[in-house]
Chains A and B, each alone.
Chain A
Amino acid sequence: MKSVSELTDFYYKNLFPTLQKLENDRKNLKHRIVFVAVTMTAFFIFLAYSLGNFYEFILFAYIALGGILYKYLVHDYTHEFKMSVIKPLVHAIDSTLLYSSTTHISEYFFQHSKLFSEPDKLSGNDYVKGQIDGINIQFSDLHAQKKNQNSKGRDTWSTIFQGLFIVADFNKHFKGETIVLPDTAQSTFGDLIGHWLQSNNAARDELVKMDDPAFEKEFVVYSSDQIEARYILSHSLMKKLLDFKHKSKQSVYISFIGTHIYIAISYDRDLFEPSVFHSLLDYKVAMEYVKTLHLAIGVVEELKLNQKLWSKQ
């Protein structure tokens, strides 16, 4: 697999002509957005001023209309960007991978991972699917939301999970379910109370205490089988997962169910979207696309999922 620096080279060398063209589109788009925003704001201020009432309603309409207009304006640019930048980047890592800019990981996998509660709405994009070293892998950007009703009876949406969701074949056979979550209770409430809270989590299986202090500090493990959890989470895998977590610099949720490993990396934004207000040639912007893709596709190599155990050959 290509390294991050090789991919960065690819981004700046091979994609340079495309990026330059896109960069022009971006500048035009930026001007258009600024123009539309100023006109719209002026119109709404005028409206509010002349009506002298309904401020709440006007503000609501302003935000809603602004959102719709923004999406409409960036639509073509986004599509162009994904097809001429993200898609070639994915193929540069492995040419056999399939990329779709509009679909996402199916709800079946999201639910089957048992990492999060059942969502009322699941959306996402940038779906990649294929085989790396004979291991099936798929991932996409995902946003799972839950519907709540506030005191006024109005619907509000809260986020269950937003970020990168990866599904891959796992290299060991197992029957039970093992779930690895970020250790929030122990870091918030301290060891004693945190541990007590974790062992009394009714929604999860038995708590499994792992014998790697560094891993135990970052994660909490629940499993239907104490021994199987340790069979899956060998010392070397625990170390690799810990490294993976540090590399991603985000909260990481992992589960082992059926024949799969599920990895959810929480980001607070939509990934692989083109930047509108920063240059596409900006190093930081480029690195984010490259690093995120490299992290997701690199899971197979990083966790050595391609080293199958004998019973699974």
Chain B
Amino acid sequence: MSTSLIVLVVIVLVLVLMYNSLVSKKNQVENIFSSVDTVLKKRYDLIPNLVASVSKYMEHEKSLLENVTRLRAEANKPNLSDGEKIALDAKITSALGSIMVAVENYPELKANENVMHLQHTLHEVEEQISAARRAYNQSVTDYNNAIEMIPTSFMASLMNYKRKEVFTIVDAERQNVNVKELFS
């Protein structure tokens, strides 16, 4: 009698521990995603300012600017899923990147203090975003591992936990920031 009771207690204990570890992993992902969201918003807030400062000069790149403005409006819509946010972020990153490349063709713009300041701020925010993304990816990897590995995988399928997506990190981001290039 008493042995079966002990076995039962141990089983319940293990189940509780497994349940708790899964919940804490899921919450960690959500917690870090909210930080990612904050820095992403920070970047969205810079976009109108940037577009306003460069549109006067960049006659030929109107479509680029319109594109980034449209993406920003989309990103600011409520009720976006995490997956949609991740996809939008990738698009905005590449759109902003092409604007920055285009700025290089306009000497007046490169010398403009306002644009330079914006570029610097944007660069700083990008660093923060990159850090937040990496933190998010790690927490998602931990979470995905837990829901796919035995024994927690059984518990996860009972709790209906699904795999989450990670941010794909652009190769260019892995490279060193070249300050000289930014100034030249």
Contacts and interface: CB of A to CB of B under 8 A. Distances in A.
Binding partners A and B: yes
Interface of A: 172, 209, 211, 226-231, 234-236, 307, 309-311
Contact of B138 (A209, A228, A307): A209
Residues of B contacting A: mostly: helix
Contacts of A211: 134, 137-138
B153 interface: no
Contacts, number: 46
Nearest to A226: B135
A171 to B, nearest CB: 11
Given A235-B174, A236-B177, A309-B127, A230 B135 contact: yes
A111 B28 CA distance: 31
A211 B134 CA distance: 8
Closest 5 CB pairs of A and B: A310-B120, A231-B131, A230-B131, A227-B135, A226-B135
5 contacts: A209-B142, A226-B138, A231-B127, A231-B131, A234-B130
Given A227-B32, A235-B174, A309 B131 contact: no
A227 B35 contact: yes
Interface in B90-129: 120-121, 123-124, 127-128
B73 interface: no
B22 interface: no
Contact of B124 (A230, A235, A310): A310
B72 to A, nearest CB: 22
Contact of A310 (B121, B131, B132): B121
Given A230-B131, A234-B130, A235-B174, A310 B137 contact: no
